[in-house]
Structure 1
Amino acid sequence: MKPYRSPWMTPELDILRTTARRFFEEEVAPHANRWRKQHQIDRSVWLKAGELGLVCMSVPEQYGGQGASFAHEVVVMEEQARICDTAFGFVPGALNAPHFLLHTATHEQNLRWMPDIAAGRKGLSVCITEPDAGTDVKALRTTARRDDDSYVLNGNKVFITQGRQAELSLVAARTGGGGAKGISLFMVETKKTPGFKISRVLEKIGQNGLDTCEIFLDDARIPAENLIGGVEGRGFGQLMDVFVRERLSIAVTGVATAERAIELALGHARNRKMLGQTLWDFQNTKFTLAECATEVRIARTFVDRLVMELSNGEEIDPAEAIMAKYWCSDKQCEIIDHCLQLFGGYGYMTDSPIAQLYLDARVQRIYGGSNETLKDLISRAM
């Protein structure tokens, strides 16, 4: 079958792919097991990525980024998927954290914080999810009370990506009444704010190399100038604008990891001897992988169109980004499961790449909006 090349690929992106592949093979892959045990990557690796320009690539140059397109970030996501890694903080939640800041903060605020983020000197987490307010952001309970030249934050956040390592946290809190209009965003400099408390690093079934924390805000006092955008009550709309990008990123990683699972299964099937022949010689194996390859190609072509539109500066339909997220994450889990089955008992061992893909994939159907909730949102747009 003729190798597929995404229509948005260019010679410049081919060069980036070579750089990203070398980075993941040399700086990330050798440390995967250790990072899973310690629940975080080494900061030195994040700094190395910053030196190579692999962090905040689509952030404007005036804020320390590369001024590149979304397609550049897609290339890096694909290369991370190729080595079956989720420890390096380029998974969707962490990848889009700088864009929450970029699209919601004032020019002065971006100048203040973004260059350190882009260089890898400081990490950024986004604190939105709460124990009783996950996909339903409008229901969040964390409060921010104005007190002279400060805001005092109180509340509980959970499932916070890079919560332990990040020096900066973008926190959603309620400054007004109920619903969407009462939500604002704030920047908390975590190491300088005594009331910002990391309760624990959460144990997960997958993505264990990426620290995920529960956080308490206990009279956390921050300067009033850390109100993102300078105006209260705009937080919900600001978040929704960036969710489109995040959901497309989840779709991209879903397709890329499913493609990698097929490659691994095909290589295994052609070499695995069984009952006097190879596993590939069985019709069931051929049919299974043919079906998987067809479904992932369908997903790839849909996602490629959205990537091309976003990379060209076009405004993509939020409903289509939701469709892509739900469809691709569902197919990611299904396809990886089918491929793992072909490995037999070896596929159940956690040191197997296919097993790691399987474990890390499950959350894709949950974060960025659970797929069940997203189907409801699609129906509202019909």
Structure 2
Amino acid sequence: MAQHYLQEEHHMFRSALQKFLAKEAVPCYSQWEQERMIPRSFWRKMGNEGFLCPTVEEQYGGAGADWAYSVVIIQELERVGSSLIGIPLHSDIVVPYLVAYGTEEQKQRWLPGCVSGDIITAIAMTEPGAGSDLAGIRTTAVKQGDHYILNGQKTFITNGIQADLVLVACKTDPQAVPPHKGISLLLVERDAPGFSRGRKLDKIGLHAQDTAELIFEDCRVPAENLLGAEGQGFRYMMEKLQQERLVVAIAAQAAAEEMLRMTIEYTKNRQTFGQPVSKFQHNQFKIVEMATEVELGRAFLDQLIADHLGGEDIVTKVSMSKWWTTEMAKRVAAQCLQLHGGYGYMEEYEIARRYRDIPVSAVYAGSNEIMKLIIAKNLGL
């Protein structure tokens, strides 16, 4: 499938990344799933090879590359396994906040470590009582002298256990009307007094991805760790959600392509009733239907990536792609497992893991129901 926004240098980069992942990730991935963690050593290896935060400017240790390099990285990581999603979250969701809204001091302090893999980041929006309704968060930060006193809990935080720097959405003005005008963003470091990790959450899938609860109890955060201006946090999050949701769509599309590929290969080789499973007309039709949906998803997604690279506002279409692509990937996972027969339910076959991993993509970065509400609003309904 041609991706017209990619040039020769992007394809060369992809080839180098594939070789790196074949050596450093593929042989270790099952062990990481069992250990429930991507080791920090892998993050540093990614950084050493220039595979973290490629769009960060050279003065901060990055390559100053265009976002198409990130697209390549997201796709290739997903082809290895969905538990690697914490790396694109770091490079393409959290770090762009620091790049866009950080002070020069903040950038010099943290960006080089983000690029090298010595600093792992997370973003803490969701709370036990507030998910898609970001205006309803209850975590507060009260200014006292040269510090903020942060109190609250966050949950479902990707990279939550290993994160060295957490971007925390909080209320600096709980009385603000409307409520979202009271939201600010604080950068909380791992050794901040009053900051602790709760449980490493036991998930259905994404087993190697560390997802955690974060707890702030009179946590002292230096005032200079405020990102941007007080009361502007909600606006910042809305500005960055287009790329976040595009990241999710890219990963879901790559997962669907990978599941289809492995299923076609399996059905060609698996014999039943004296012939390959792929020779039965019913199975051919199912594969054809999936292949068509995957192709449609790719065409739509590639156009959105090109538009995003061009700086266009594509919030409505990204919301369409995020919900449609993730639902499509769920359908593909279910059908591919069925075509594997009993073996599809066995842990030794990759489709079993893929079947577990893909459903959450319809939930995070804003549930698909929220995507439809955004689309409806932007259609003037």
Matches of residues 106-255 of structure 1 in structure 2 within 5 Å?
A: 106-176=103-173, 177-178=175-176, 179-190=179-190, 192-229=191-228, 231-255=229-253
Choose the corresponding residue for 2:305, options 303, 307, 312: 307
Decide whether the 8 Å contact of 2:160 with 2:212 is kept in 1. Answer: yes
Decide whether the 8 Å contact of 1:94 with 1:162 is kept in 2. Answer: no
2:268 matches 1:270: yes
Matches of residues 11-30 of structure 1 in structure 2 within 5 Å?
A: 11-30=8-27
User: For 1:18-67, what per-residue CA distance to the aligned partner results, in whole angstroms no more than 9, with x for missing partners?
Assistant: 11111221111112122122221111111010011100012222222221
Decide whether the 8 Å contact of 1:35 with 1:87 is kept in 2. Answer: no
Decide whether the 8 Å contact of 1:103 with 1:242 is kept in 2. Answer: no
Alpha-carbon distance change, 306 to 332 in structure 1, aligned in 2, over 3 angstroms: same
Choose the corresponding residue for 2:31, options 34, 39, 50: 34
Q: Which amino acid aligns with 2:70?
A: E
Choose the corresponding residue for 1:373, options 352, 370, 381: 370
Q: Secondary structure at the match of 2:185?
A: strand
Alpha-carbon distance in 2 for matches of 1:371, 1:39: 27
User: For 1:321-352, what per-residue CA distance to the aligned partner results, in whole angstroms no more than 9, with x for missing partners?
Assistant: 11111111110111121111100111112232
Q: Which amino acid aligns with 2:366?
A: G
Choose the corresponding residue for 1:359, options 356, 362, 367: 356
Alpha-carbon distance in 2 for matches of 1:225, 1:98: 17
Q: Structure 2 stretches of 5 or more lacking a match?
A: none
TM-score normalized by the length of structure 1: 0.95
Alpha-carbon distance in 1 for matches of 2:290, 2:244: 25
Identity %: 38
Matches of residues 92-103 of structure 1 in structure 2 within 5 Å?
A: 92=89, 95-103=92-100
Q: Secondary structure at the match of 2:196?
A: strand
Alpha-carbon distance in 2 for matches of 1:183, 1:226: 15
Decide whether the 8 Å contact of 1:92 with 1:250 is kept in 2. Answer: no
Decide whether the 8 Å contact of 2:83 with 2:206 is kept in 1. Answer: yes
Q: Which amino acid aligns with 2:331?
A: E
Q: Which amino acid aligns with 1:107?
A: E
Decide whether the 8 Å contact of 2:138 with 2:170 is kept in 1. Answer: yes
Alpha-carbon distance in 1 for matches of 2:134, 2:352: 33
Alpha-carbon distance in 2 for matches of 1:94, 1:299: 24
Decide whether the 8 Å contact of 1:141 with 1:174 is kept in 2. Answer: yes
Q: Which amino acid aligns with 2:183?
A: I
User: For 1:214-252, what per-residue CA distance to the aligned partner results, in whole angstroms no more than 9, with x for missing partners?
Assistant: 0110000011111111x2101000011111001011111
Q: Which amino acid aligns with 2:323?
A: Y
TM-score normalized by the length of structure 2: 0.96
Deviation at 1:14, TM superposition (A): 0.9
Q: Which amino acid aligns with 1:362?
A: P
Alpha-carbon distance in 1 for matches of 2:372, 2:309: 25
After the TM superposition, which of the residue ranges 197-206 and 97-106 deviates more from structure 2? Answer: 97-106
Alpha-carbon distance in 2 for matches of 1:17, 1:79: 8
Alpha-carbon distance change, 93 to 332 in structure 1, aligned in 2, over 3 angstroms: farther
Decide whether the 8 Å contact of 2:308 with 2:314 is kept in 1. Answer: no
Q: Structure 1 stretches of 5 or more lacking a match?
A: none
Choose the corresponding residue for 1:7, options 4, 24, 34: 4
Could you say what the CA RMSD is over the residues aligned between the two structures, in angstroms?
Answer: 1.4
Deviation at 1:85, TM superposition (A): 4.2
Alpha-carbon distance change, 94 to 70 in structure 1, aligned in 2, over 3 angstroms: closer
Alpha-carbon distance change, 201 to 23 in structure 1, aligned in 2, over 3 angstroms: same
Alpha-carbon distance in 2 for matches of 1:241, 1:337: 34
After the TM superposition, which of the residue ranges 19-28 and 281-290 deviates more from structure 2? Answer: 19-28
Matches of residues 14-93 of structure 1 in structure 2 within 5 Å?
A: 14-87=11-84, 89-92=86-89
User: For 1:251-304, what per-residue CA distance to the aligned partner results, in whole angstroms no more than 9, with x for missing partners?
Assistant: 111111101111001000111100011101100111011111111111111110
Q: Secondary structure at the match of 1:5?
A: coil
Alpha-carbon distance in 1 for matches of 2:312, 2:64: 18
Alpha-carbon distance in 2 for matches of 1:378, 1:295: 21
Aligned residues: 376
Q: Which amino acid aligns with 2:357?
A: D
User: For 1:139-185, what per-residue CA distance to the aligned partner results, in whole angstroms no more than 9, with x for missing partners?
Assistant: 00000000011100000000011111111111111001241100000
Q: Secondary structure at the match of 2:313?
A: coil
